Amino acid sequence: MWVFASIAAAAIAIFAIYCLIPNYWMRNRSKRVVRCGETNKPWIALTFDDGPNPIYTPKLLDILKEAGVKATFFVVGEQALRYPHILRRMHSEGHTVGCHSFSHRHAWLMSPLRTFSDIELTCQAIKSSLGHQPRWYRPPWGMFNLCSAAAARRLGLEIAYWSIEAQDWEAKTTARHIYDAVISQAQPGSIVVLHDNRGAPGAPAKTLEALPSIIDTLKKKGYTFVTLDQLKGDRT
C-alpha cells in the first residue's frame, strides 16, 4: 500500500512543480508577464484570441477599420496556415499579430519539448505570412507550465496576459454581458481579452455584436485604443 501512496505523492509533487506553481507565479506574480499598461495614459488594448476565423475575423476587422481602432490578435498556428491572407490584412491595417500556440493545446498537457515546438511552429506560421517574427506570446486559456516562459524567452517573445475578460466564449454569455463586463472594469492601461474563433457555437458573433458599443462608449469616456506594441512601447 505504501508503494501506491509514494507513487501518488510523487505524481502530485511533479504536477505541482510542472503545472500548479509556475502557473500561479506567471499569472499573478512574474514581472515578465504583461497584465496591463501604465495608468497615466487613457489607453486600452483590445486583444483577440484563437483566430483567424474565415467568417468572423474579416467582419471583426471591418468593425475595427470603420471605428479607426487598432488591436492585437493572438493567432493559432493551424488557423494562420489556413488563412494567411487574413493575417496579411491584420498587418496591413495596423494591427499587431501575436502567437497563441499551434493547435490550442493546454500547457499542462505538453511536455517541455512539445511546449517549445508548439510556440516555434506558430512563430514560423506567422513569419511565413508576414515576413517577420512576432513579438508577443499568450498561451491558450492563459495557462502556463514550468517551461512556457523559458520557451518564449528563447524565441525572443514577450508574454501577455490580460486584466479584463468577458467570458465571451461561453454559450450562456450574451452581447450585453460582454459589454457590461468590459465597460465596468475598464481603466487606463487595461488589456481586454476577447475571441474571434472557437468557444461555444456562434460565440464570436456575440462578441462582434457587443464590440461597436464597447468602442463607442469607451471613446466617449476619453479612452484611446492601442496595440500591445503601443501600450508597452515599440521594440528598439
Q: What is the pLDDT of residue 9?
A: 77
63 within 8 A of 211, measured Cβ to Cβ: yes
> Among this protein's residues, is 195 annotated catalytic?
yes
Distance of alpha carbon 150 from alpha carbon 191, whole angstroms: 23
Given a cut of 60, is residue 220 above it in pLDDT? Answer: yes
pLDDT in tens, 54-72: 999 999 999 999 999 999 9
Q: Which of 118, 168, 195, 196 is catalytic?
A: 195
By percentage, how much of the chain surpasses pLDDT 70?
A: 96
Q: Which CATH architecture has domain 2-232?
A: Alpha-Beta Barrel (3.20)
Q: Cis omega before residue 52 (within 30°)?
A: yes
Given a cut of 70, is residue 234 above it in pLDDT? Answer: no
Three-state DSSP at 194 gives strand
Distance of alpha carbon 137 from alpha carbon 62, whole angstroms: 25
Instruction: Confirm whether pTM is higher than 0.75.
Output: yes
Q: Which of 49, 118, 168, 229 is catalytic?
A: 49
Q: What is the pLDDT of residue 236?
A: 37
Q: What is the pLDDT of residue 1?
A: 62
Given a cut of 50, is residue 235 above it in pLDDT? Answer: no
Given a cut of 80, is residue 2 above it in pLDDT? Answer: no
The pair phi, psi for residue 222, each rounded to 5°, is 95, 10
Q: What is the pLDDT of residue 119?
A: 98
1 or 200: which leads in pLDDT: 200
Given a cut of 90, is residue 5 above it in pLDDT? Answer: no
Given a cut of 60, is residue 30 above it in pLDDT? Answer: yes
Average pLDDT over residues 95-106: 97
Report the alpha-carbon angle 220-187-101, nearest 5: 110
> Among this protein's residues, is 180 annotated catalytic?
no
